[in-house]
């Protein structure tokens, strides 16, 4: 079993504050300091540079952080698999989905779970950048995401299957849309803040969004606001803070009081399920190859 106190080191490495690390674990700063000192003495290396004003990781500390976080993830994953065996499951698969993908896959997972009650399926939701990183690290076996996420991998590194396509719409609150000429999304974009779930970098980056806007509308808004979920994105639209681009699978965008403009100049957005080609989890392979149309 891993020494639970290793979490003291991981927390301190992430927040670089003895005060915050102590508060996170409900212990004294002295307890954190004594553990770090004992750990450094045992490893015979200095993990942190610290003075009265700052705390920073040494090169040795950075390496130990990478290895420690890997060990914790590996231990937690092993524990979940052992529990699955204890609960008499014959397989276990960890699935990640992005912001929208769960909306078109409920029936797929329902059929899979009915066909394979012996398989335990855990499903987690993350932004696209985190999805790809967790697939690379092995924290997830399979992800269901915008096809753009596949660009983070070489073609030979992944196996994929198409799941569904979706059209994107520009969505605005009715009174906001009424300020502009009818059926003129370009004027709407130029005049309003664009609320987006795009991240600063990664497969679903702001740069990607700007390229899409140039292709679709020939303009880029002067103002952006970022959110991390469809619910908060549409909440801001209803609050008349700006406009948003959402897939047509988001049924809330058709509610009364909202106006939608189809984005017809580009291709449909494709959403795929994919995994690493080197993943040897039989349950992941079973999920990837499941025929949802079979009786």
Is the domain of 283 the same as that of 258? no
Is the domain of 201 the same as that of 275? no
Is the domain of 241 the same as that of 280? no
Report yes or no on 24 lying in a domain: yes
Report yes or no on 294 lying in a domain: no
Q: What CATH code is carried by the domain that includes residue 61?
A: 1.10.10.10
- Round to whole Å and give the CA distance between 113 and 136: 25
Number of H helices, E strands in the chain: 11, 12
Sign of the Cα torsion 42, 44, 45, 51 reads: positive
Is the domain of 42 the same as that of 104? no
Domain extent for 110: 89-165+270-288
Please state the φ and ψ torsions of residue 214, each to the nearest 5 degrees: -60, -40
Q: Report the predicted TM-score, pTM, of the whole model to 2 decimal places.
A: 0.67
Nearest to 47 by CA among 32, 56, 58: 58
Q: How many domains does the chain have?
A: 3
- Round to whole Å and give the CA distance between 287 and 283: 6
Is the domain of 172 the same as that of 263? yes
Report yes or no on 81 lying in a domain: no
Q: Which of 78-87, 254-263, 270-279 has the lowest mean pLDDT?
A: 78-87
**In this predicted model, what pLDDT tens digit does every residue of 43-84 receive, in sequence order?**
899 999 988 788 999 999 999 998 888 887 777 777 776 776
Is the domain of 224 the same as that of 259? yes
Q: What CATH code is carried by the domain that includes residue 191?
A: 3.40.190.10
Is the domain of 139 the same as that of 276? yes
**In this predicted model, what pLDDT tens digit does every residue of 182-237 receive, in sequence order?**
878 889 989 999 999 888 888 888 998 898 888 888 889 999 999 988 889 999 99
Residue 49 contacts residue 58 (beta carbons within 8 Å): yes
Is the domain of 200 the same as that of 256? yes
């Amino acid at each position: 079993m891993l020494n639970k106190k290793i979490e003291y080191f991981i927390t301190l490495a992430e927040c670089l504050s003895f005060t915050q690390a102590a508060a996170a674990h409900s212990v004294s700063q002295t307890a954190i300091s004594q553990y770090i000192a004992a750990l450094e003495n045992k490893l015979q290396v200095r993990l942190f540079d610290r003075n009265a004003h700052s705390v920073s990781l040494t090169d040795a500390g950075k390496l130990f952080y990478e290895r420690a976080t890997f060990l914790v993830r590996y231990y937690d994953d092993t524990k979940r698999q052992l529990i699955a065996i204890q609960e008499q499951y014959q397989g276990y698969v960890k699935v990640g989905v992005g912001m929208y993908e769960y909306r078109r896959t409920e029936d797929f997972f329902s059929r899979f779970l009915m066909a394979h009650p012996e398989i335990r399926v855990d499903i987690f939701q993350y932004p696209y950048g985190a999805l790809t990183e967790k697939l690379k690290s092995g924290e997830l076996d399979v992800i269901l995401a915008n096809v753009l996420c596949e660009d983070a991998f070489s073609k030979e590194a992944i196996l994929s299957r198409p799941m569904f396509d979706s059209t994107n719409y520009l969505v605005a609150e009715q009174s906001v849309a009424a300020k502009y000429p009818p059926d003129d999304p370009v004027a709407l974009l130029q005049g309003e803040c664009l609320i987006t779930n795009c991240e600063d970098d990664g497969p679903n980056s702001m740069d990607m969004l700007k390229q899409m806007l140039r292709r679709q509308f020939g303009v880029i808004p002067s103002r952006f606001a970022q959110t991390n979920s469809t619910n908060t994105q549409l909440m801001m639209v209803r609050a008349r803070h700006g406009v948003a681009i959402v897939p047509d699978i988001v049924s809330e965008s058709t509610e009364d009081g909202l106006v939608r403009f189809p984005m017809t100049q580009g291709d449909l957005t494709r959403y795929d399920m994919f995994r690493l080609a080197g993943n040897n989890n039989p349950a992941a392979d079973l999920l990837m190859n499941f025929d949802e149309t079979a009786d």
